[in-house]
Amino acid sequence: MPILLAVLATTVRANTTHTHGANSTFVFNTKEGLQELGIALPAPSKGTDINTELTKDGITLSNTKGGTATRIYNSKGKYSLRIYKKGTLTLKAGGANITKITITGYSASNFGLSTTQGTYNVSGTVGTWTGTESEVTFKVNVNTYINTIEVAINGETPKPTQKVNGLAALKDIADETPVHLYIADADNARVLFAGNDEAFIRDKDCTVCFSGVKAKPAMAYNQHVAGYIVGKKMTQNGMTTLQAVADTHTAFLVMAAPVQESDVEPAVMKAGEHATHLGDWVTMKNLTMKNGKLEANGQTYMLNNAYGLDGNSFYQQPYEGAIVDLSAIVYPTATGIELRPIYNKVEKTEAHDVEARDFRPLIYVIDETRNFTSPTADIPHATVRLHRTFSPDKWNTLALPFAVTFEGGKLRKYDNVDGQTMKFVEAASVEPGVPYLFKPATVIENPTYTDVTLSKTEARKVMHGSCGFAGTYSPYTMKADKTERFLGEGNKLYWPDTTTSPDANKMKGLRAYFMVPETMTEAKVSIVGETTAIDNVATDHPAATANARVYNLNGQFVGIGTAGLPKGVYIVNGKKMVIN
């Protein structure tokens, strides 16, 4: 890419010098004027065709062909712009109004323009137009040879075009300034997202929005961008923008899919940090949908599906009360900051030999420490992230609002009760709302599940006889009357003792508890395929032993909590406990 950029540089730099004066002037009768416009000098009695637009200080000159192509002609060393009968000549000021045009001809006999706009008068070889128009078109009635065209905008001199090296330098340019922007290959400028006639570009320093830039082929996520482009620097509600003008094109801008480069990833943005991420692609975690907006830590953001994502892009409008992670463009508006969801996908190609992956726009979050609101209808193809860890060393109680099959590990469901023993049997997979006992093959920490159906089904209570097993998605406060218990040492069921530990009956979400009669003093569980062992079972209530009064077998008080105790047998909460 550096070699190609060197070629582009020699092609474009001829257009980066500007004439300063009272007005913007196109000079066609001098070598310097032609070189300034990037026009090749024709040999004597030859011409250089003008088939493209010419730009000078924000003014664009275009033409349509008459009897012969418009050209710069060399007549014995004298140059002029020749535009032929039945052609047109148009002058345009992007975003401003032209108030005066002075056209100086080569000779009176070859000078015949007219227009229906404003007022146009001719005196000898000088034609003067006045009015207020953003674009003025002249009809060519006779073959017309032109030396110069002087243009005034809004009665003032147009801002001269500035050369700008890099996106960071663009931020410091005054708004409304025409610019020739150069993006070096080493700046590692990459396309974050393109849509709605906008593209968001991030380099090693900052992010800029390209607005109205018509790229062929269209810009796309992950592309590497380098080269030259012209436009107008603007600021949209704090977001630095390169606004397309009449002569903006991407002929000198190289856009290439990655080969050895790392894939572009979103920045992680916390609530309140949006000012440093305007126009950037970010992920935000743990946002709560409330009254149609997203909230986090007291900060509110508007949600706008501006790019029309749907189920094919794994997006649906979050329901009220949902907690979500969002992948989005941070877009500032006059009324506040919008988060505009996007879906990006890394493609594996022969040139870019990486693992294919995607960045889903919306992930539902179920946090063991926060209340969960169920959707009012099932949500198919959802992505769900759990905030919970499952230990492979202990049995974990579990209740989930979606179906899933675990790879490896052991899953058990409540099947029946025999006397004071609740029996659990093998289960193939998790059903929404049903409580289970689960022991994974390896530790599972804050897992994410894709393409699941987030169910409207609430957590269930499974009853057999007088005993039940009840799931909960949200944190739950257990009753302290011995009718709701947790699984503890020796596969026995313990009731929370709030007299020694006030929080002993506090249970985190995504779990389950046991329901037994108050008079059932020896309640326990039997897990098929498992032998009973004191160190084989996890309690969902560490506080039950962490803050409990502990005694030795002689009845002597040894302290509060089991942490740090030597190996041995102790009395905790009125029960024997072995510390290994």
Residue with tokens 């920490």: 445
Q: Is the dihedral of CA 380, 383, 387, 389 positive or negative?
A: positive
The pLDDT, as a whole number, for residue 539 is 44
Judging by DSSP bridges, how do beta strands 299-303 and 336-341 pair with one another? parallel
Backbone angles phi, psi at 49, to 5 degrees: -65, 140
Of 186, 203, 282, nearest to 242 (Cα)? 203
CA torsion 456-458-464-467 (nearest 10°) is 170
> Hey, what long-range contacts does 423-429 have (CB within 8 A, 24 or more apart)?
423/525, 423/526, 423/528, 424/525, 424/526, 424/527, 424/528, 425/528, 426/528, 426/529, 429/403, 429/404, 429/405
* Amino acid (1-letter code) at residue 537: V
SS (H, E, C) 223-248: CEEEEEEEEEEEEECCEEEEECCCCC
Query: pLDDT tens string for the chain (580 positions)?
Result: 443 343 343 333 333 333 333 478 999 999 999 999 999 999 999 999 999 999 988 899 999 999 999 999 999 999 999 999 999 999 998 778 899 999 999 999 999 999 999 999 999 999 999 998 989 999 999 999 999 999 998 855 567 889 999 999 999 999 999 999 999 999 999 999 999 999 999 999 999 999 999 988 899 999 999 999 999 999 999 999 999 998 899 999 999 998 888 999 999 999 999 999 999 999 999 999 999 999 999 999 999 999 999 999 999 999 999 999 999 999 999 999 999 999 999 988 888 888 899 999 999 999 999 999 999 999 999 999 999 999 998 899 999 999 999 998 999 999 999 999 999 999 999 999 999 999 999 999 999 999 999 999 999 999 999 999 999 999 999 998 999 998 877 778 888 888 878 888 999 999 999 999 998 988 889 998 774 332 333 344 544 555 566 766 655 555 667 766 777 777 776 666 777 5
HSE-up of residue 84 (Cα within 13 Å, Cβ side):
11
Q: Are residues 156 and 172 in contact, defined by beta-carbon separation less than 8 angstroms? A: no
| Dist. CA 456–CA 379, nearest whole Å | 8
Report residue 153 as tokens. Answer: 């905008």
- What are the structure tokens assigned to 414, written together? 């409540």
Distance CA 489, CA 495 (A): 12
What are 360-374's pLDDT values in tens digits?
A: 999 999 999 999 999
Contacts of 156 (CB under 8 A, 6+ apart): none
In terms of Cβ atoms closer than 10 Å to its own Cβ (0-12, 13-18, 19+), residue 414 is: buried
E strand residue ranges, 115-172: 119-123, 126-133, 135-140, 144-153, 162-165
Say whether the peptide bond before residue 217 is cis (omega within 30 degrees of 0).
yes
Strand order, beta sheet including 396-398: 396-398, 436-439, 410-418, 421-426, 524-527
The residues pairing with 179 across neighbouring beta strands, listed in sequence order, are: 162, 231
Ramachandran bin of 480, using left for φ above 0, alpha for ψ from -120 to 50, beta for the remaining angles? alpha
Cα-trace Rg, the chain: 37
pLDDT digits (tens, 9 = 90+) for 286-339: 999 999 999 999 999 999 999 999 999 999 999 999 999 999 999 999 999 999
In this structure, what token pair is assigned to residue 518?
A: 């108050």
The predicted-structure confidence for 237-288, as pLDDT tens digits, reads as follows 999 999 999 889 999 999 999 888 899 999 999 999 999 999 999 999 999 9
Contact status, residue 225 vs residue 190, Cβ threshold 8 Å: yes
**Secondary structure E strands in 370-435:** 379-387, 389-390, 396-398, 410-418, 421-426
In order of start, what are the domains of the chain with their CATH numbers? 23-154 (2.60.120), 162-256 (2.40.50.140), 267-365 (2.40.50), 392-442+456-527 (no CATH), 549-579 (no CATH)
User: Residue 550 forms beta bridges with which residues?
Assistant: 559, 572
In a 13 Å sphere around the CA of 405, the CA atoms on its Cβ side amount to 2
Q: Are strands 493-494 and 448-454 parallel, antiparallel or unpaired?
A: unpaired
pLDDT score recorded for residue 106: 94
For β-strands 281-290 and 299-303, DSSP reports them as unpaired
Report pLDDT for 13: 35
pLDDT of residue 554: 58
Residue ranges in 57-187 assigned as alpha helix (H): 167-171
Dihedral over alpha carbons 205, 209, 215, 218 (to 10 degrees):
90
What pLDDT shows up at residue 545?
56
Residue 561 contacts residue 545 (beta carbons within 8 Å) = yes
Nearest to 437, CA basis, from 418, 455, 423, 424: 424
- DSSP, residue by residue, 463-479: EETTEEEEEESS-EE--
Closest of 373, 278, 257, 381 to residue 331, by C-alpha: 278
What DSSP string describes 271-324?
TT-GGG-TT-EEEEEEEEEETTEEEETTEEEEE--TT---GGGT--PPPTT-EE
Is the four-CA dihedral 559, 565, 571, 572 of positive or negative sign?
A: positive
How far, in Å, CA of 538 to CA of 148, rounded? 89
Find residue 364's DSSP bridge partners. 324, 384
Total residue count of the chain as it appears in this document: 580
